[in-house]
Amino acid sequence: MLDAYRAEVPRGLLAIWITKEAGWNRFAVSRDPVLIECGMSQAPLATCRKLDADPFDLETGLWLAGREAVADARHWSHATDDCGKPECWIEWVTPPGRALWWLTQMPYSIGDGAIDHVLRCAITRAAVQGRDPHSFGLLAAVRDWIYVADLESAHHKRHWGRQSGAVIRERCEKHMRWLDEADKVSPLDGMPGSEPPMDRPARLIRFPRELLAEAAVCASPKASRGQRRAVYDSVLSYVARRRKHDPAPAASLLHRAIVTLRPAAYRRRMGDTVA
């Protein structure tokens, strides 16, 4: 199923993202009562409603995850800003590799404004030092900058929103570690899969009618905190009912043993299918 929807996104990377974000639990709901990210894709409830796709269905959730990952990878790999400016990072993510896959996750982790600022500062610092993008690399440039800059200064902090500088640094590093874990499952060179359907495939499950009103509230910028909290509680109740009547199959004893022990040789040989 991952191969059907991941296109150029490495299988191991998508598997690790789903593992870290949702634990492969198709009934997962984020703790954020604003976006209310759902299922294995952790797509916002309002987005699932707009796409008319059930995020709590197994295959639909994988389609949502693949669709989003492919769209983000293509966005970052086809940036066309004026390359005379430090804002242009197209040469830092060409050819597709670890830098591109790291970049596709960062807007979700720290926000668009924050990642734009991190990139601008890191690339500017590397350029001043005379670093060559293809030999130094974007991840090295980011790591070099986040440890010398005062991320709590007013100049930088205004880009972080409610986050602290320590959180920005930790999340930048966290997603670099995720790349290391994904690399143990499959190469991060973008093994091509089939073209993912950008429109909802006919065989996928439609968005739950019981959550139409809740999704409308999530999509409204005028919704109050109390309204969003009520919607969040309603979604949790729906998931609890559905889990009871449509439980996910229990993992086999062999699978649980592999997840617990994770022998390196077996993971390298069979990681793609086990994940």
pLDDT at 55: 96
C-alpha 105/C-alpha 71 separation (Å) is 12
Distance of alpha carbon 190 from the chain centroid = 16
CA separation for the pair 236, 28 (Å, rounded): 9
CB 144 within 8 A of CB 131: no
The pLDDT assigned to 38 comes to 96
- Report d(CA 116, CA 95) in Å as an integer: 20
3-state secondary structure at position 43: strand
CA 146 to centroid of chain Cα atoms: 21
Angle at 81 between CA 79 and CA 82, to 5 degrees: 145
Question: What are the structure tokens assigned to 233, written together?
Answer: 């509680």
Are the C-beta atoms of 48 and 207 separated by less than 8 Å?
Answer: yes
Q: Among 1, 3, 7, which residue's Cα sits nearest to residue 196?
A: 7
Over residues 221-248, the pLDDT tens digits come to: 999 999 999 999 999 999 999 998 887 6
Element (H, E) at 238: helix 225-245
E strands within 184-257? none
Tokens of 202: 């006919």
Residue 88, pLDDT score: 66
Backbone φ and ψ of 165, nearest 5° = -60, -35
Residues (pLDDT < 50) of the chain are 80-84, 86, 265-275
C-alpha 176/C-alpha 183 separation (Å) is 11
The one-letter code for the residue type at 1 is M
What pLDDT does residue 259 have? 63
The pLDDT, as a whole number, for residue 8 is 83
* Predicted local confidence at residue 133, as pLDDT: 87
In terms of C-beta density within 10 A (0-12 exposed, 13-18 middle, 19 or more buried), how is residue 177 classed?
Answer: exposed
pLDDT at 106: 93
In one letter, which amino acid is 106? M
Contact 7, 192 (CB under 8 A): yes
Sign of the torsion angle spanned by Cα atoms 250, 244, 67, 16: negative
Contacts of 166 (CB under 8 A, 6+ apart): 151
Query: What is the tens place of the pLDDT at every residue in 173-193?
Result: 999 999 999 998 888 876 556
H or E, element range at 38: strand 37-38
pTM given for the model? 0.81
* Whole-number CA gyration radius for the chain: 20
